[in-house]
Chain A
C-alpha cells in the first residue's frame, strides 16, 4: 500500500513538474506558443545585410521559457514606447498637463526636449531611439543579439516612429519575437550588445 502510494506520488510529480512549467504565470498575458509558427531565421548574408545589423537583428537567451521571453519583450516594448498616458507619444500634452501643477521648472524641460527632438530629427530619430532602447533593455536582461536579413526581419518585427502599429499586429510580432528569443540557440555569430 505504502509502496503503491509512493509510486503514484512519484508518477504524479513526474507529470506535474512539466505541466507547472508550461503553466508559468505571465505578467503580460502571454499567448499559447502552440498557436505560433517559428519564423525563418536562416539566410545567406550579403555585404549589404552586414551593414544593417544595427537595425535588423533578433534577441535570444539560453534556458529561457517562452512566457519569460514574452514578459521580457513586452516590458522592454512598454519602456521603449514610453508610457505617455496622453496617447500618441505627444510630449507637448504632458507638458500642458503638468503645467497647472507648478512644475514649470520640472517636466517641461524633458517634455520640450522630447518635442524638440521630434521636430528636429523626426520619425527616423524616433525609430532609431526605439532600437537603442530595446537593445539596452534586452541587454540588461542578458539577451544576446543575432543578425537577420531585412526580409526575414520584416516577417516578425515592426518599426515605430511617430505612429503606432495596430495592437493586434504589435502583439503578434512581439509573441513571435518571444518564440525566437526562447527557441533553439542560434548558430550564427553573435552581434555586439
Chain B
C-alpha cells in the first residue's frame, strides 16, 4: 500500500544518479583535466578560462579520434615511482603465498601428471618487474566523436578540452600509432593552445585552418608551436607509423627523428614489447 512513495523515491534517486553520470562537465564551474567543453557552456558563462588549467582546441573530420600524451614531468615521475614502491611492497607481501601456491601446484602435478613440465618458480619481486601504469599513459587524452565544441561539417568538427598544463605529443589515432616520430607542443596555463587541423593534415602547410569560433574570441588563444618528438612505445598495439616530415619542425634520417629547429637528431630510446615472454 505504501510502496508507491518508496518506489518513487527510488526512481528519483535512480534518475538523479543517471543525471549525475551523464551531466556535462561544464555544469560545474571548475573544469577538470580531460573535460570536453561545449560552445553552449562557454556562451552561457558556465565555463570561463581557469588560470590553473590549460586548454587544447583542435579541428578534425567527423568520426575520427586522436590521442595525445603528456610528456612526463617531475610530478608524474614521482607518482609513478610511488606506485612502483607500493606495487613492490604488495608483491613482497604476497610472495610467500605465491611460493606456497606454486609448491602445491608442483606437488599436485607430480602426482597427477608426472610427465608434464612443471611451472617455473615465481621470481622474487623486484622494482624493475612490478607492473604499474607507464608514465606516458598517466595524462593521456582521447579527443573526437563525443562532445564536440560546436556543430561542424563532416570534414571539420571542433573540440575544446581542458588539460593539465605541460608538453603534449600527438600519439596517433584510434588505429595508428605515430610511434616512430611525431610532434609535441606546449600547453600553457590559462591559455587555449590552438592546434587547428594541423595534426591530421597530410601535407602540413600554412593554409591549414587555424580559425577559432567567435565564442572563443574572449579567451586567450595561442597557436600551437610544434616541435619534433622522438619514438615511443606502441601502448595500444595499433598500426605503427610516423608523422610526415614538416619543414622547419620535423624530418627524418632513415628512422632517426630530426628536430628541424636545431638540426639535431633526437635520441633513439630502446623500445620494448613488455608482453610477458612465453617460455
Report which A residues bind B (CB closer than 8 A): 27-28, 72, 75-89, 91, 94, 97-98, 101-111, 113-114, 117, 129, 132-134, 136-137, 140-142, 164-168
Contacts and interface: CB of A to CB of B under 8 A. Distances in A.
B179 A81 contact: no
Nearest to A72: B255
Contact of A105 (B134, B142, B171, B239): B142
Interface string B212-237: 00000000000000000000011111
30 contacts: A27-B270, A78-B234, A80-B234, A81-B234, A82-B237, A82-B273, A83-B233, A83-B274, A84-B235, A85-B131, A89-B237, A98-B140, A101-B133, A103-B137, A105-B143, A105-B161, A106-B34, A106-B67, A106-B140, A109-B174, A110-B67, A114-B237, A114-B238, A129-B239, A132-B239, A133-B239, A136-B241, A137-B240, A164-B277, A167-B278
Of the candidates A27, A76, A103, A165, the one having the most CB atoms from chain B within 10 angstroms of its own CB is A103
A81 B144 contact: no
Contacts of A77: 273
B86 to A, nearest CB: 13
A168 B274 CA distance: 15
B59 interface: no
A131 to B, nearest CB: 10
Nearest to A171: B277
A28 B270 CA distance: 8
Contacts, number: 157
B66 to A, nearest CB: 9
Give 3 nearest A-B pairs by CB, closest first. Answer: A82-B237, A109-B142, A113-B174
Contacts of A106: 34, 67, 139-142
Contacts of A166: 278-279
Contacts of B34: 102-106
Given A106-B141, A110-B236, A111-B236, A89 B275 contact: yes
B65 A102 contact: no
A181 to B, nearest CB: 14
B138 A83 contact: no
Contact of A107 (B142, B145, B179, B274): B142
Given A109-B67, A165-B278, A79 B36 contact: no
Given A27-B270, A79-B234, A129-B239, A108 B142 contact: yes
A114 B171 CA distance: 15
A156 to B, nearest CB: 19
A101 B138 contact: yes
Given A83-B275, A107-B140, A133-B240, 13 more contacts: A72-B255, A78-B273, A82-B273, A84-B235, A91-B237, A94-B235, A102-B34, A103-B138, A103-B141, A105-B142, A106-B141, A136-B180, A140-B254
Interface in B184-223: none
Contacts of B180: 79, 136-137, 140
Q: How large is the interface on B (under 10, 10 to 19, 20 to 34, 35 or more residues)?
A: 35 or more
Of the candidates B139, B171, B236, B254, the one having the most CB atoms from chain A within 10 angstroms of its own CB is B236
A109 B65 contact: yes
A83 B35 CA distance: 27
Given A110-B236, A140-B180, A81 B273 contact: yes
A113 B65 CA distance: 10
A97 B255 CA distance: 31
Contacts of A142: 254
A108 B133 CA distance: 13
B102 interface: no
Contacts of A91: 236-237
A97 B87 CA distance: 13
Contacts of B161: 105
A182 B273 CA distance: 23
Nearest to B277: A167
B148 interface: no
B32 interface: yes
A102 B272 CA distance: 26
B33 A102 contact: yes
B240 A110 contact: no
Contacts of A78: 233-234, 271-273
